[in-house]
Amino acid sequence: MRLGSGTFAACCVVVEVLGVVLFLRGFFPAPVRSSSSSKHQAEPPAPEPSAGASSNWTKLPPPLFSKVVIVLIDALRDDFVFGSKGVKFMPYTTYLVEKGASHSFVAEAKPPTVTMPRIKALMTGSVPGFIDVVMNLNSPALLEDNVITQAKAAGKRIISYGDETWVKLFPKHFVEYDGTTSFFVSDYTEVDENVTRHLDKVLKRGDWDVLILHYLGLDHIGHVSGPSSPLIGRKLSEMDGVLMKIHTALLSEERETLLPSLLVLCGDHGMSETGGHGASSTEEVSTPLLLVSSAFERKPGPHSRHLLFYHDLFAEETWLCVLWSLSALSADVFFVHPVNPVWPARGSRFRSCWLGDIRHPKHVQQTDLAATLAIGLGLPIPKNSVGHLLFPAIEGKPMREQLRFLHLNTVQLTKLLQENVPSYEKEPGFEQFKISERLHGNWIRLYLEENNSEVLFNLGTKVRRQYLDALKTLSLSLSRQVAQYDVYSMVVGTVVVLEVLTLLLLSIPQALSSKAELEVPLLSPVFSLLFYLTFLVLSAVHVIVCTSTESSCYLCSLSWLTAGGVMVLVSALLCAVVSALTKVLVRGKLLSKNAAHSNSRWSELDLLILLGTLGHVLSLGASSFIEEEHQTWYFLVSTLCLALCHDIYRNYLPGDDCEPQRCLHVEGGFDGATPALQDKNTSSAVLELNRGCKSPSSLGTLRGYEKWMVLASPWVILTCCRLLRSLNQTGVQWAHRPDLGHWLTRGILEARFVYVFVLGILFTGTKDLLKSQVVAAGFTVKTVGLWELYSGFVLLAALLLRPHNLPVLVLSLLIQTLMAKFVWKPLRHDVAEVTVMHYWFGQAFFYFQGNSNNIATVDISAGFVGLDTYVEIPAIFLTAFATYTGPVLWASHLVSFLSSEASSSSALSHAGFCYALIGSFPVSAYIILVTSLRYHLFIWSVFSPKLLYEGMHLLITAAVCVFFTAMDQTNTKS
Ligand SMILES: [Zn+2]
Ligand SMILES: [Zn+2]
């Protein structure tokens, strides 16, 4: 079977995408789940343990609170409440924290710190898989066991106002709701007024049990102007007013009911220093959690003593500071340090103590809220919850109830452990649970026998401590379970990806030959024998793996037909690799006999491209190189400009060795070249911009101004790159530096008007392309069509990019024009080099526009320009386009440029092949890197997001290659 090299490359990349998808499915582990979660019937609660004498307390304990109000402020960071901003802008909340009947915590969110997975974590208590971030734009109903479903089943009436994610997750759970969409990021007043306007009415009515308010304004302010914007303070004051209103209303109503009520203030995630969220920096994962209820003891008044143990985890040394004060603000402070009084060196830590900042709440997990809410509402704890009950919430209850609550939580966690860990009996948490349950039984016996109260109290405290330890251990080991990989799927995915890469590398000689065609020997009998053998072996392995393994495995859960398809793919690829290898070996033998073969020389540029590609791939093994990957690309692009400069001057200055570099490639041809095993993209591709090779002095024949433009253009491009660099500070280390982008603010765009134009241009472009294909109207029509598509993309990019990013677009166009007119054309670079340069610049522009390898920098708002409501498919398409504007624009420029400039008909084929190769090389290498680094500390925060980005890059590469092939087809037909 003969295939054009472009088509071949496109097929390869598409298969590689499948491999990467399989790898990702295995890499992002399935979360810890209870096996009984599918069954909906409620199980009876665990009875109170008892030794000998039987306890009659088998029912679930009654609720602790009559009403629960959850105020979720999106992107509320812990320091907005507990830090200086809280003191300044949230006086009422600060009063509640310091003096009120409340318990405050810093609840740590697990990455990805985006809204939907966080709401799920808060309500189910489970740790959602990382892949939930992909589902964030499309939140389907939550089927997992959760507090809301339990409350509904128990007949509680629930009301929700605010972010419509709640309504999507819980479509039939609310007796009343008003959802607001979170996609108009520039709106930060109306989204919140939409919530607050219901408050007066609803607080007066008594016909509800749970009220959920999700305020989005703060998050929107963060996205638009960052955490230090003056708008943040105003928003916090507004939220403080809301809290005061709710708290006073609850207090006045409590007088009529017997049970107290509970007010919960929390955030779903924090915000980074740039105002985004998604990753795992301290600012993004730390959220405040405040429980307010008259059931809790009031904090001591102003005339009492505070004792503060200040433990600085980051300094790796224990700081002990004793704050002795008559009041919080006019304090006499003494510092005592047990070992070494080094504190003056740590000025900031010292000041935070000295200023009387006594609000360093305990750190807990976000998942702990679900169990606490369930206990508070008298509901069973959600089955998949890995969190443990926040003990202070039940501290004021009698000992028997406390122990009962702790027992229920421990039983639930132990059950989850039994269902998810094969060797659960060896887990320390399980042993602790057994001990506490036995002690608890003894305590119940003593209690029922009405023993001496002091003995009872002492034993009770001991049991309680045992339970709390067990809870902590169980919760920790369950949370850790989430980091288990599905190695089988990962291996199969990696094998597919590597096979494709090897195939691409081995077929370089054929694919880049002047015919641009290659033979795929899938139908020959020898290979079909090999194919069947491999297929049989692989199927046997599959059966063995799937029957022996205990952990869940994606491939094994597939139907036999699908799994068989995967095996067919793997064996077919293997056969293709073997055949390509034999072909290369045979050819190598022939060549060594034929001594006359000329080894084509590598230019410096080729060498730079090769080393640059290898260096970039190697750099992906280090987390800080991933965080700062833009620096790598900026460096590569600048070096490329200098190399081009060198090239130009050498060609231009007379008296040099006049041997034109470019001509060598043409003469060398491919038939006589080395079977380029070294690397890919660079091996001397034949070619052919313009009309063959002119005389070396061609630069000298240029007109005066053009000559100067040629000489100057690399420097102009370098200057442009320097400017672009300071437009968006990205990465991690220097992201907080002020960038030019902050000076320009976002305006409102008359977007739909522009969409009409974009669609119009794209339509004419496509029409011309189709015409060139159908009517065989020829070359010019196709070129015109391609340039029309390109301008359509440019216009769409101009619409979607934030206004401050428009200079990126302008400079990108400028660089493309300069390169095309004054570098590629006069110097006649070959197709491979031009392709790689386009790819490099595309990558650099990905970062120039402010992207990074962090999920927080994806500009979701750009995808919703001109849309009234959330429409899924256009939204996803627009977001993806806005994020990948740089690579897409450069790729489409490449197609248009080659189609209008290259003389050879195989140019597009070659370019497609080179693009596939250079695009798939980093992904394949990164998959192996990430597998070897899967227990790295930063695997979830740095390497995993990068993996998702690499997957997206490959998808874009696949799309580009398919487009190349399509264009190539039209070319051959016309
Ligand atoms: Zn959020
Ligand atoms: Zn947000």
Distance 224 CA to ligand 2 centre (A): 10
The bound ligand whose nearest atom lies closest to the alpha carbon of 114 is: 1
The whole-angstrom separation of Cα 535 and Cα 391 is 57
pLDDT, position 937: 61
User: By three-state DSSP, how is residue 292 classified?
Assistant: strand
Distance 110 CA to ligand 2 centre (A): 15
Q: What is the DSSP letter of 154?
A: T
Q: What is the DSSP string of 311-323?
A: -BTTTTB---EEE
Whether 6 and 912 have beta carbons less than 8 Å apart is answered as yes
Distance 172 CA to ligand 2 centre (A): 25
The bound ligand whose nearest atom lies closest to the alpha carbon of 119 is: 1
> Between the CA of residue 382 and those of 21, 209, 416, 705, what are the distances in Å?
31, 19, 11, 75
User: By three-state DSSP, how is residue 879 classified?
Assistant: helix
CA atoms within 13 A on the CB side of 37: 23
Distance 125 CA to ligand 1 centre (A): 17
The bound ligand whose nearest atom lies closest to the alpha carbon of 73 is: 1
Read off the pLDDT of residues 563-612 as tens digits, 9 standing for 90 and up.
Answer: 888 888 888 888 888 888 888 888 777 766 654 444 556 777 888 888 99
Q: What is the DSSP string of 796-854?
A: HHHHHS-GGGHHHHHHHHHHHHHIIIIIIHHHT--HHHHHHHHHHHHHHHHHHTT--SS
The whole-angstrom separation of Cα 397 and Cα 405 is 10
Distance 799 CA to ligand 2 centre (A): 22
Distance 269 CA to ligand 1 centre (A): 6
The whole-angstrom separation of Cα 225 and Cα 220 is 8
Torsion, Cα 173 176 182 187, to 10 degrees, reads -170
Distance 473 CA to ligand 1 centre (A): 29
Distance 365 CA to ligand 2 centre (A): 20
Q: Are strands 102-108 and 286-292 parallel, antiparallel or unpaired?
A: antiparallel
The whole-angstrom separation of Cα 632 and Cα 276 is 23
H helix intervals, 681-750: 704-727
**Element of type H or E holding 324:** strand 321-325
Read off the pLDDT of residues 807-842 as tens digits, 9 standing for 90 and up.
Answer: 888 888 889 888 888 888 777 778 888 899 999 999
The bound ligand whose nearest atom lies closest to the alpha carbon of 77 is: 1
The whole-angstrom separation of Cα 921 and Cα 928 is 11
Distance 75 CA to ligand 1 centre (A): 5
Distance 359 CA to ligand 1 centre (A): 24
Distance 272 CA to ligand 1 centre (A): 12
Distance 617 CA to ligand 1 centre (A): 34
Distance 638 CA to ligand 2 centre (A): 35
> Between the CA of residue 774 and those of 587, 863, 972, what are the distances in Å?
40, 35, 12
Distance 120 CA to ligand 1 centre (A): 12
- For 1-38, b/e burial (b = at least 16 CB within 10 A) is eebbbbbbbbbbbbbbbbbbbbbbbbbbbbbbbbeebe
CB < 8 Å & 24+ apart, contacts of 440-446: 440/48, 440/49, 440/403, 440/407, 440/467, 441/49, 441/50, 441/51, 442/51, 443/403, 444/48, 444/49, 444/50, 444/51, 444/53, 444/55, 444/400, 445/50, 445/51, 445/52, 445/53
Distance 218 CA to ligand 2 centre (A): 9
The token duo for 929 is 């890197």
Distance 301 CA to ligand 1 centre (A): 36
pLDDT, position 684: 38
Distance 117 CA to ligand 1 centre (A): 9
Q: At what angle do helices 629-652 and 604-619 cross, to 10 degrees?
A: 180
The bound ligand whose nearest atom lies closest to the alpha carbon of 272 is: 2
Distance 795 CA to ligand 2 centre (A): 27
**168: buried, middle or exposed (CB in 10 Å: 19+, 13-18, 0-12)?**
middle
Distance 104 CA to ligand 1 centre (A): 20
pLDDT, position 455: 84
pLDDT, position 330: 36
Distance 74 CA to ligand 2 centre (A): 7
What amino acid occupies position 338? P
Distance 165 CA to ligand 2 centre (A): 12
User: By three-state DSSP, how is residue 436 classified?
Assistant: helix
Distance 270 CA to ligand 1 centre (A): 8
The bound ligand whose nearest atom lies closest to the alpha carbon of 860 is: 2
pLDDT, position 746: 60
Residue with tokens 């080179």: 914
The bound ligand whose nearest atom lies closest to the alpha carbon of 185 is: 2
CB < 8 Å & 24+ apart, contacts of 872-877: 872/137, 872/138, 875/137, 875/183, 876/137
**52: buried, middle or exposed (CB in 10 Å: 19+, 13-18, 0-12)?**
exposed
Distance 165 CA to ligand 1 centre (A): 10
Distance 179 CA to ligand 2 centre (A): 16
The whole-angstrom separation of Cα 964 and Cα 422 is 51
Provide the CA 509 distance to its chain's centre, in angstroms. 38
Distance 564 CA to ligand 2 centre (A): 42
Name the stretches of the chain with pLDDT < 50: 37-39, 137-139, 301-358, 595-598, 655-697, 732-733, 735-745, 747-749, 973-974
Q: Is the peptide bond before 128 cis (omega within 30 degrees of 0)?
A: no
Global pTM value: 0.64
Distance 933 CA to ligand 1 centre (A): 30
Distance 974 CA to ligand 1 centre (A): 53
Distance 503 CA to ligand 1 centre (A): 44
The bound ligand whose nearest atom lies closest to the alpha carbon of 222 is: 2
The whole-angstrom separation of Cα 716 and Cα 822 is 11
What amino acid occupies position 905? S
